[in-house]
Amino acid sequence: MKMVALAVAVLVTLSSCALCCPGSPNTKGKELWAMKDQPMDVQLSAVLKEMESLRCEQTTLQQQQQKALNQIHKIRVQEQDQDSVGTHTLTYFSAANATEDDEEDPHFPEETEMSKRRRDPCFHFTVLDQDWRATNSSSKVKMCDRNLKWKGWYRLYYKGKSLQMPERCVSANKCGTHAPLWLAGPHPKRRDGIVTRNVCGSWKKKCCAFRSTPIKVKKCRGNYFVYKFTPPAACYLAYCSDINTLICGRCRRNQSCVSRDKINWRCKRKKRFSSRKIHFFASFPGSLVGKVNRIKYSKVLVNVGRGYNRKTGVFRAPVKGVYQFFFSSMSGNSSHKTDLWLVVNNYWVAVSSTRISPISSVSSLSHYMTFLRRGATVYVTQNSGKSWANTVSTTITFGGSLLVQYK
Ligand SMILES: *[C@@H]1O[C@H](CO)[C@@H](O)[C@H](O)[C@H]1NC(C)=O
Ligand SMILES: *[C@@H]1O[C@H](CO)[C@@H](O)[C@H](O)[C@H]1NC(C)=O
Ligand SMILES: *[C@@H]1O[C@H](CO)[C@@H](O)[C@H](O)[C@H]1NC(C)=O
Ligand SMILES: *[C@@H]1O[C@H](CO)[C@@H](O)[C@H](O)[C@H]1NC(C)=O
């Protein structure tokens, strides 16, 4: 995100730089036009001056570009430094064996499995398997987590089975301590990555008598959580594990562990459908004659979800689901047969065809609906004929929408 913001900033500086040189080409251009009737030497000197100004601009642009590149480099170096000391919280990587239901960020496709794993606390945690931490523990001895040296990430267990921290107030003197520490906020979803949550210690009927140091939490594949515990604010405070969440360890992959009251937990089937918004609509602002392998609809009116690429004319399905497409043309000369085809994954699947005589023009709109996997490509080709459009006619168009998303 930082990089994108920077790139925008660079563009802004580059484009606004035209102002720092004497006379921008636009205004000069107008003056030159007005000089057509002037004597030759006057015109010539004007042209020379114009060239000088352009050269100046070029130099300034180069300088700006260099500056921007230096800046980008600096930021990269900073980021690397942060990585090495481990303070960086990268949230875009996902666990190994990614499948379609992973909410991975498509901007970082190059990151290798290995480097993902190396930084992923889901693969590097310490087991915290102490019965006394459980909410139903009857331990008489009181423990204090302030006396422990906390390092890295932890996963809570009870007799070898995974547990979660309670998301509710646990009364005092439970969990083998005086003031049990519970998570004052919901556990994250997998797509949230690493989140920071407040921790409360309950004491004397006050649920948050102690506001302990916040901790980091991450949800891992397989319905378990890892926590980055830190020394609590005082003694006797200790991190608590909720015995009722034992059930969560039995949830399948296509289930998640849910609770309304945060006391009773159950495995619930994950929602099969979700609702990414993907819609696009683009037009070609000129006429097309004869065979055009891929029409590059360059005037983009709508591109929600960024599935359509105006440079290539290709729509690439960002998610798996049911899509509807439409494309239209207006035949420019009826003595030819005009054929436009919708091409899905390199198969020609739907045609918009016109042939009419005597000479006239007719517009044609075709629809197609289909199931697509993520990454499927869709574009329009003109096989023959002539399609007419100008910059404002919106007669040669291509659009589509995601109707139903599959997980
Ligand atoms: C991940 O995939 C590899 C093969 O690609 C397989 O050997 C391994 O068991 C898988 N791991 C999990 C956790 O599914
Ligand atoms: C706490 O709950 C677990 C799981 O239900 C049970 O096995 C254990 O005996 C309980 N402990 C106490 C002290 O009640
Ligand atoms: C969920 O996954 C299990 C196997 O892990 C499978 O038997 C079950 O049919 C799946 N349920 C749904 C609704 O996909
Ligand atoms: C239509 O096409 C025919 C055959 O190619 C050509 O003779 C005619 O001039 C064209 N008319 C227009 C209006 O472009």
The answer to whether 239 and 150 have CB atoms below 8 angstroms apart is no
47: left (phi over 0), alpha (psi -120 to 50) or beta: alpha
> What pLDDT, in 10s, does the model give residues 351-374?
988 877 766 667 789 999 999 999
Tokens 């998640």 belong to which residue?
256
For ligand 2, say whether the CB of 159 is within 6 Å of any of its atoms: no
Ligand of minimum distance to the alpha carbon of 333: 4
- CA 355, 361, 362 angle in degrees (round to 5)? 70
pTM above the 0.75 mark?
A: no
pLDDT(69) > 70 = no
Residue with CA at minimum distance from ligand 3 atom 2: 254
Q: What was the pLDDT predicted at 47?
A: 61
Residue with CA at minimum distance from ligand 1 atom 4: 97
Residue with CA at minimum distance from ligand 3 atom 10: 254
Q: What was the pLDDT predicted at 49?
A: 72
Spatial distance between the Cα atoms of 37 and 246, rounded to a whole number of angstroms: 91
Give the nearest ligand 3 atom to 254 CA. Answer: 1
Residue with CA at minimum distance from ligand 3 atom 8: 254
299: β partners: 283
Residue with CA at minimum distance from ligand 1 atom 7: 97
> What pLDDT, in 10s, does the model give residues 178-232?
999 999 999 999 889 999 999 999 998 899 999 989 999 999 988 899 999 999 9
Q: What was the pLDDT predicted at 96?
A: 36
Strands (E), 68-176: 126-128, 154-158, 161-162
275 vs 120: which has the higher pLDDT: 120
Any idea what DSSP says for residue 246?
G
Could you give the count of Cα atoms lying within 13 Å of 218 in the half-sphere of its Cβ?
23
> What pLDDT, in 10s, does the model give residues 228-268?
999 998 889 999 999 999 999 888 888 889 999 888 999 99
Q: How many angstroms separate the first and last alpha carbons of the chain?
A: 26
Distances from the Cα of 295 to the Cαs of 314, 333, 376, in angstroms? 9, 19, 17
Q: What was the pLDDT predicted at 141?
A: 87
Distances from the Cα of 398 to the Cαs of 53, 301, 328, 370, 385, in angstroms? 43, 10, 7, 15, 18
For ligand 4, say whether the CB of 335 is within 6 Å of any of its atoms: yes
Backbone angles phi, psi at 222, to 5 degrees: 100, 20
Spatial distance between the Cα atoms of 391 and 407, rounded to a whole number of angstroms: 40
Q: What was the pLDDT predicted at 185?
A: 92
Q: What was the pLDDT predicted at 110?
A: 52
Q: What was the pLDDT predicted at 207?
A: 93
Cα of 379 from ligand 4 centre, angstroms: 28
Two tokens, residue 321: 């689901």
For ligand 1, say whether the CB of 97 is within 6 Å of any of its atoms: yes
For ligand 2, say whether the CB of 165 is within 6 Å of any of its atoms: no
Q: What was the pLDDT predicted at 233?
A: 82
Burial of 192: CB neighbours in 10 Å, binned 0-12, 13-18, 19+: middle
> What pLDDT, in 10s, does the model give residues 70-116?
555 554 444 433 333 222 222 222 333 333 334 444 444 455 677 77
Give the nearest ligand 1 atom to 97 CA. Answer: 1
Cα of 348 from ligand 4 centre, angstroms: 28
The answer to whether 340 and 381 have CB atoms below 8 angstroms apart is yes
> What pLDDT, in 10s, does the model give residues 268-326?
987 766 678 999 999 999 999 999 999 999 999 999 999 999 999 999 999 999 999 99
